[in-house]
Structure 1
Amino acid sequence: MPKRAYECGSCNEVHELHHEAERCCQPDINDVWLCDICEESHDEKEDAEKCCIGKVKARGVETVRCPSCFRDQELVRYAVEIEVAGHCSECNPHFSIDDTFKIGDLVDQQIAENLERSM
């Protein structure tokens, strides 16, 4: 006479008892850390802290409006581009060599400051 069994829906392993099949491939629970800004999950706390550090505004500014394209920009990179060159790279990706170096240095400086503040 055939005997009733229970098959796991994930790995197809056959079990004699219903609760054994239910417990077979239960998902593991992982501890994750959520970024304060975008709420993306990260395995490490440090990664979550650094995730959107470039989006945090220095000088307490929430957004900066580009005078060329009138977009409200939230990223430090765009705010610095507007400060240095008078436009963001979304509307005009061309900068002089001097402006490119100045933008890179200021972005690195502000991100370092934001990182120090968050520690």
Structure 2
Amino acid sequence: GGGGGVLRDALGAEFLVLHGGLRAQGYRDNETWLLGPLGPAIGARRWRWARIGGSASPQLAEPIPVARFHHRLTVLGGARSTAHGSSLVISGGHDYMLRPLLSVWVLSLRAVELCARTS
């Protein structure tokens, strides 16, 4: 599967962030998604998915990691800081040939406007 963590935007709303993983028919992806803003389950109807990266996305100007699964994702800054101070650290996993990936990637969320992407 993919990796995930929680981060907070500048207004204090929390979002679940997920990266990569294994899809149907063995397809691996390198997309990054946000779900939120999170809150009590009674408000779950307002939660929205927003894609913020991946090989088909022009939103990230920096290089992106190769598609992978069985990897680790860590949110630096996380729920205690804003997304503008958060980064994602993606490490390890396996590629489409099941070869181990030993790379470590740090992706900045500084340019991502979370609220605008989920409305």
Smaller-chain TM-score range? under 0.3
Higher helix share: 1
| TM-score scaled by length of structure 1 | 0.24
Higher strand share: 2
> Which structure is larger by alpha-carbon Rg, 1 or 2?
1
| TM-score scaled by length of structure 2 | 0.24
Which structure exhibits the higher relative contact order, with contacts defined as CA atoms closer than 8 Å and separated by 6 or more residues? 2
